[in-house]
């Protein structure tokens, strides 16, 4: 992973130069955005897209079936292009509204015969390990690059899930009385230097979506939106949301549908 | 007559709308109760809302005025003042507590001390440029408000239980939940009110 070392080095230089600056508040965010733009020309996420494509095409699992010949992401069996930006959506065969990762894992279990228990055991990447669903999500997301987000919000199941997600977004609990909305319900706020998008607003909700799945430079691994929601709840001081649960799907439905109409730029880079 | 019908219809629609919102709220609550697991120090008991959280959730952080006053009085009654009456500590210690944002997540070690999280949301000392803006700026807090006994009591109470003065404030109830102890809150009072504190320079 020579590439990831180079990236961490470059990041260290950027951070180092920022720390020295005095009145650099929002300038710091702007600098990072510039740096990210440069980095995205040779985005390490592409490695995971390639890996994910191999996994998508290969006959695998106890049933020796390829996802490409068995998995319907909403646009027909094997159709990947444009599927990511049209999820979460309702899948009649599962009787559920599902986000991309949930659907992919559902296909791996139902079509390929993989063990759900095993897939749920280590759902998120670390320095030494990338879960297969993470690579698959990255591949599927890459196939929606530069396409408009279009969650089918008028479909009744999706609409219902959206309404539930809105309630999850504003539910306050835990030792600090925090809801998602406590930090993400107002315009132009920050935690320390970190800009907080108002995720209830159409033109800002895209900021929670853009760049995911993302290659995390500190550590050098790929993370999905399922991970992002998990880590939000951690910081909210909540217990842990179950992987691929209705609660996480409803939240993703709310956030993604709020960003409908914006152009998705594909898998990205995160700090 | 038709006016009365229109009015009745409108009223019914409003009631139906409210009922639907309540329905989603209840369903979301049930869904949440099913979808979480305990991890580290973050147990499932954290999903059980107390009376304050219940009121803020129910009224989307805007309870009607009479209820608001009742809730705030309840919260103020939870504040425990130091037995010796001393409310000012050392602003240098307060600055350290204000800097730390650690504590209470499932990846944090359980137990005290946890951070005050103050800079996450407030501008405080002019020396710290990395501050959040969710809360108001506290620059010159003591210089503007005066280091009076009343102000010391207010600041102590506000940090102990922020909901005493604004029921659905975004600020946690640091003393009430046991995140900050009496001594730590004293140091934070000094950080804001001590004339020597950088806050007031």
Structure confidence at residue B11 (pLDDT): 56
Identify the residue among B132, B168, B176, B179 best suited for mutation to test binding to A, counting A beta carbons within 10 A and taking the highest: B132
Instruction: For B19-45, write each residue's pLDDT tens digit.
Output: 667 799 999 999 999 999 999 999 999
Give the tokens for residue B150: 């009343």
**Cα of B167 to nearest chain A Cα, Å:** 11
**Cα of B95 to nearest chain A Cα, Å:** 15
Structure confidence at residue B15 (pLDDT): 55
Structure confidence at residue A143 (pLDDT): 98
Give the tokens for residue B22: 């309540």
* Interchain pair B107, A234: CB under 8 A: yes
Structure confidence at residue A5 (pLDDT): 45
Beta strand residue intervals within chain A, DSSP E: 89-91, 96-98, 147-148, 189-191, 194-196, 211-216, 221-223, 240-241, 263-264, 267-270
Say yes or no: A197 contacts chain B, CB-CB below 8 A. Answer: no
Question: Domain check: are A11 and A94 in the same one?
Answer: no
Q: Is A98 within 8 Å of A106 (Cβ atoms)?
A: yes
Residue B78, phi then psi, degrees to nearest 5: -85, -15
Question: Domain check: are A33 and A49 in the same one?
Answer: no
Rounded CA-CA distance A223/A126 in Å is: 9
Name the average pLDDT for chain B.
92
Question: Domain check: are A29 and A56 in the same one?
Answer: no
* Interchain pair B170, A190: CB under 8 A: no
The yes/no answer on whether domain B91-200 falls in CATH 1.10.760.10 is yes
* Interchain pair A240, B38: CB under 8 A: yes
Question: Domain check: are A107 and A20 in the same one?
Answer: no
Structure confidence at residue B18 (pLDDT): 56
Rounded CA-CA distance A221/A146 in Å is: 23
Q: How many CA atoms lie within 13 A of B44 on its CB side?
A: 9
Q: Is B198 within 8 Å of B127 (Cβ atoms)?
A: yes
Give the tokens for residue A66: 């390829």
Which residues does chain A have within 8 Å of residue B56's beta carbon, measured at their own beta carbons?
Answer: 172, 177
Residue with structure tokens 């309870």? B63
* Interchain pair B49, A23: CB under 8 A: no
Total residues found in chain A within this entry = 271
Residue A150, phi then psi, degrees to nearest 5: -145, 65
Structure confidence at residue A20 (pLDDT): 40
Identify the residue among A175, A232, A243 best suited for mutation to test binding to B, counting B beta carbons within 10 A and taking the highest: A175
What CATH number has the domain bearing residue A82?
1.10.760.10
Question: Domain check: are A113 and A188 in the same one?
Answer: yes
Nearest to A152 by CA among A97, A207, A77, A208: A97
* Interchain pair B28, A239: CB under 8 A: no
Rounded CA-CA distance A51/A29 in Å is: 31
Instruction: Give every residue of chain A whose pLDDT is below 50, as ranges.
Output: 1-25
Give the tokens for residue A78: 């094997």
Question: Domain check: are A35 and A72 in the same one?
Answer: no
Catalytic residues of A: 232
State the DSSP code for A34.
H
3-state secondary structure of A207: helix
Which residues does chain A have within 8 Å of residue B29's beta carbon, measured at their own beta carbons?
Answer: 167, 171
Rounded CA-CA distance B188/B193 in Å is: 9
Nearest chain B Cα to A24, which residue? B129
* Interchain pair B24, A234: CB under 8 A: no
CB-nearest to A164 from B24, B38, B47 is B24
**Cα of B125 to nearest chain A Cα, Å:** 13
Residue A223, phi then psi, degrees to nearest 5: -130, 145
Nearest to A138 by CA among A91, A104, A109: A104
Query: What are the residue boundaries of the structural domains of chain B, listed by start?
Result: 2-67, 91-200
Structure confidence at residue A26 (pLDDT): 63
Rounded CA-CA distance A193/A183 in Å is: 13
CB-nearest to A164 from B27, B42, B132 is B27
* Interchain pair A173, B48: CB under 8 A: yes
Structure confidence at residue A4 (pLDDT): 47
Rounded CA-CA distance A185/A79 in Å is: 36
Structure confidence at residue A34 (pLDDT): 75
Rounded CA-CA distance A85/A267 in Å is: 12
Structure confidence at residue B3 (pLDDT): 56
Which residues does chain B have within 8 Å of residue A173's beta carbon, measured at their own beta carbons?
Answer: 46-49, 53
Task: Note down the domain range covering A126.
Answer: 43-270
Rounded CA-CA distance A247/B196 in Å is: 49
Question: Domain check: are A16 and A55 in the same one?
Answer: no
b/e burial code for range A115-147 (CB count within 10 A of at least 16 → b): eeeebeeebbbeeeebbbbbbbbbbbbbbbeeb
**Cα of B126 to nearest chain A Cα, Å:** 11
Question: How many domains is chain A built from?
Answer: 2
Element at A29 (helix H, strand E): helix A26-39
Rounded CA-CA distance A239/B43 in Å is: 6
Rounded CA-CA distance B139/A13 in Å is: 31
State the DSSP code for A224.
-
Nearest to A52 by CA among A68, A70, A36, A34: A68
Rounded CA-CA distance B152/B138 in Å is: 14
Across residues B74-103, what is the average pLDDT? 97
Question: Domain check: are A170 and A211 in the same one?
Answer: yes
Structure confidence at residue A30 (pLDDT): 76
Rounded CA-CA distance A115/A173 in Å is: 34
Instruction: For B110-145, write each residue's pLDDT tens digit.
Output: 987 799 999 999 999 999 999 999 999 999 999 999
Nearest chain B Cα to A195, which residue? B132
Question: Domain check: are A157 and A246 in the same one?
Answer: yes
Structure confidence at residue B9 (pLDDT): 55
pLDDT exceeds cutoff 90 at B10: no
Rounded CA-CA distance A226/A92 in Å is: 22
Report the sign of the C-alpha dihedral through residues A24, A27, A32, A35, in that order: negative
Give the tokens for residue A246: 């209705």
**Cα of A114 to nearest chain B Cα, Å:** 23
Of B45 and B1, the one with more pLDDT: B45
Question: Domain check: are A33 and A50 in the same one?
Answer: no
Question: Domain check: are A5 and A90 in the same one?
Answer: no
Rounded CA-CA distance B29/B39 in Å is: 20
Q: How far is CA A17 from the centre of its chain?
A: 30
Structure confidence at residue B1 (pLDDT): 43
Structure confidence at residue A11 (pLDDT): 44
Question: Domain check: are A115 and A227 in the same one?
Answer: yes
Q: How far is CA B31 from the centre of its chain?
A: 26
* Interchain pair A173, B44: CB under 8 A: no
């Amino acid at each position: 992973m020579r590439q990831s070392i180079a990236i961490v080095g470059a990041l260290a230089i950027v951070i180092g130069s920022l720390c020295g600056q005095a009145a650099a508040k929002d300038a710091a965010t702007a600098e990072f955005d510039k740096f990210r733009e440069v980095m995205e020309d040779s985005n390490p996420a592409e490695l995971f897209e390639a890996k994910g494509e191999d996994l998508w095409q290969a006959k695998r699992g106890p049933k020796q079936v390829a996802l490409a010949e068995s998995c319907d992401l909403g646009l027909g069996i094997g159709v990947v292009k444009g599927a990511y930006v049209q999820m979460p959506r309702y899948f009649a065969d599962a009787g559920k509204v599902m986000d991309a990762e949930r659907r992919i894992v559902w296909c791996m279990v139902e079509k390929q015969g993989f063990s759900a228990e095993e897939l749920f055991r280590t759902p998120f990447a670390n320095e030494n390990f990338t879960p297969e669903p993470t690579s698959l999500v990255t591949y599927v997301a890459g196939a929606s690059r530069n396409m408009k987000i279009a969650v089918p919000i008028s479909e009744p199941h999706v609409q219902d899930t959206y309404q539930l997600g809105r309630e999850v977004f504003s539910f306050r609990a835990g030792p600090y009385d925090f809801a998602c909305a406590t930090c993400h319900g107002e315009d132009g706020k920050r935690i320390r230097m970190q800009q907080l998008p108002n995720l209830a607003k159409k033109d800002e909700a895209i900021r929670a979506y853009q760049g995911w799945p993302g290659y995390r430079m500190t550590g050098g691994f790929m993370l999905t939106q399922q991970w992002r929601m998990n880590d939000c709840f951690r910081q909210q001081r909540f217990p842990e949301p179950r992987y691929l649960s209705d609660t996480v799907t409803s939240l993703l439905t709310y956030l993604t549908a709020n960003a409908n109409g914006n152009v998705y730029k594909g898998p990205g880079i995160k700090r | 007559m038709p006016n009365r019908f229109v009015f009745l219809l409108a009223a019914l629609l409003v009631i139906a709308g409210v009922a639907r919102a309540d329905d989603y709220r209840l369903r979301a609550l049930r869904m949440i109760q099913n979808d979480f697991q305990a991890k580290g120090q973050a147990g499932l008991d954290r999903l059980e809302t107390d009376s304050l959280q219940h009121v803020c959730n129910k009224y989307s952080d805007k309870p009607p005025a009479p209820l608001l006053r009742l809730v705030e009085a309840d919260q103020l009654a939870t504040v425990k003042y130091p037995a010796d009456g001393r409310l000012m500590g050392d602003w240098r210690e307060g600055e350290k507590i204000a800097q730390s944002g650690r504590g209470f997540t499932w990846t944090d070690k359980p137990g005290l001390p946890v951070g005050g999280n103050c800079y996450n949301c407030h501008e405080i000392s002019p020396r710290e440029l990395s501050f959040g803006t969710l809360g108001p700026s506290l620059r010159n807090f003591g210089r503007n408000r005066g280091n009076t006994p009343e102000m010391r009591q207010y600041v102590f109470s506000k940090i102990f239980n922020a909901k005493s003065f604004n029921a659905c404030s975004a600020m946690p109830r640091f003393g009430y939940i046991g995140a900050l102890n009496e001594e730590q809150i004293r140091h934070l009072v000094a950080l804001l009110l001590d004339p020597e504190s950088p806050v007031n320079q």
